Structure formats: structure tokens, C-alpha cells
Amino acid sequence: MAAALKARWRAGEVTLGAWCMMPGALSAEALARNGFDWVLIDMQHGCMDYETALSMIRAIDLTSAIPIVRVPWNDPGIIGRVLDAGALGVVIPMIQTVEDARKAVDACLYPPMGRRSFGPVRVGMRDGPGYFGEANSRVAVIPMIETAEALAAVEEIAAVPGVDALFVGPFDLSVALGLPPGDNDGKPAFDAAIAKVAAAAKQAGAATAVLSNSKVAPLRISQGFQMISVTTDIAALTMATRMDLETVRTAAKGN
């Protein structure tokens, strides 16, 4: 079994991952085989349904990467299903209150820590009868901080028992702060928000996580983030194909 992300975070490690927006097991496996610590399947803004997400989790399981899923909403039904499929971490969007965070924890963890229903059909085949006893210690509960309401309550959200990391959604958080969507480092409101989330997580003993890219990731590491995406499948495909096309066009002009 892969080491649990939250065990690595407690040890002070930084974990780097890739983000799947495109549906398909083959592309997920291709990303996962590049040495990422984790690969996330985005069911909120990505283009995959549950059955496709299941196949993508199985493909990631062929590698050393840890499968993570961002669910569409803070709903115990879909959270339970992606965990039963084999996800070892769940990113939950649009958490706004302490009650939202508690609901997310309840959906992710088995009693007595939560209220997750028992029925690990697929993940039980992968991990065997010992899954139930280890699930709560391995599954990472990762609420997103991306609204003004969540930012105002971030210390209380971070302190909810069972929360393992706070995930900064820089695009929605920027919009909530009156900024254009994106990484707005250097803008006082954005910098203060990043610092506030990081401080709240550190005080609660949780990790900080963020959607990022290869240019911004070093800054996030210096800010103390421990779960950082390096690329998305669609961005990597777009950039690589564009570079190949420009290379050939440039060479053709020289002939």
C-alpha cells in the first residue's frame, strides 16, 4: 500500500501532484507514471462521470501515485462512492462553515470518527479485509477554502477533528476578493489570504494544499504548502503539442 498522504504531511514532506481534467484511464495512468506523489481526478470542473472516474482510479493504482478525487459538491453520496472506488483523499469544494467541514469529515470517515457507510466493494478488492481498519488513518479529508465566508472561518474549519489539509482554490478565492481569477501573488488581499490559510492550518496541525503550476509551485513550497499540483493534463497536452508544432514550423521556414 502507498504511504498515506497525511502521514507524509505529518513528517513534513511536500507532495507534488498532477490534475486530471480530461476523462480517460489511459491519460490518468500516463500522468501517474511520471513520478507524481498523487494524481487528482477532478469531478467538479473536469469532464468525467463516476464510471470514468472509477476506471481512472484503477489506472492510477497501477502506479506508485496516490489517487485523489475532487468531488462535485459536499455530498455524502458521491464522497462515499469515490472512496469505495479507491480514492485515498477527497477534495471537497465550496466549504463555507464549520458545519460544512464537519459534514465532509462525516462523509469521509467511518464511525466513530465519522458516519461513512460501510460497503467498500471495489477498494476492498484492492486492499483486502484490512481496509476497514486502516481507512480512517489513510483517507485524507481536504476541504477547500475559496470563499470570503470560508476565509473568515478558516481557523475554526482547520480545527475540525478529521480535517487533514486546507485546499486553497486560488481562482474562486481571487474572485471572492474582488480580483481576477488566477494566482494574484503581490496583491495585498491575495497575499494576506494565503498567509491566513497557511497560519490556520499550521496552528491546527493540518497541511495546506493548492492548485498550482510549475512556475508558481516553488513559491507555494516556500509558503509552507505540502500538497501542490504541478500541472493539469489539458495544460500539459496543449503546451507540448504547441511547442512541437512551432518547432516544426520554424524548421520548415529555414528550409
Catalytic residue positions, numbered: 45
Alpha carbon distance 134, 38 (integer Å): 19
Alpha carbon distance 164, 39 (integer Å): 17
User: Torsion angle of alpha carbons 132, 136, 137, 140, nearest 10°?
Assistant: 130
Smallest CA-to-CA distance from 20 within 40, 43, 50, 49 is with 40
Query: What is the DSSP secondary-structure string of 1-54?
Result: -PPPHHHHHHTT--EEEEEE-S--HHHHHHHHTTT-SEEEEETTTSS--HHHHH
**In angstroms, how far is CA 183 from the centroid of its own chain?**
17
Joined together, the cell numbers standing for residue 143 give: 476541504
Alpha carbon distance 158, 163 (integer Å): 6
Residue 63 DSSP code? S
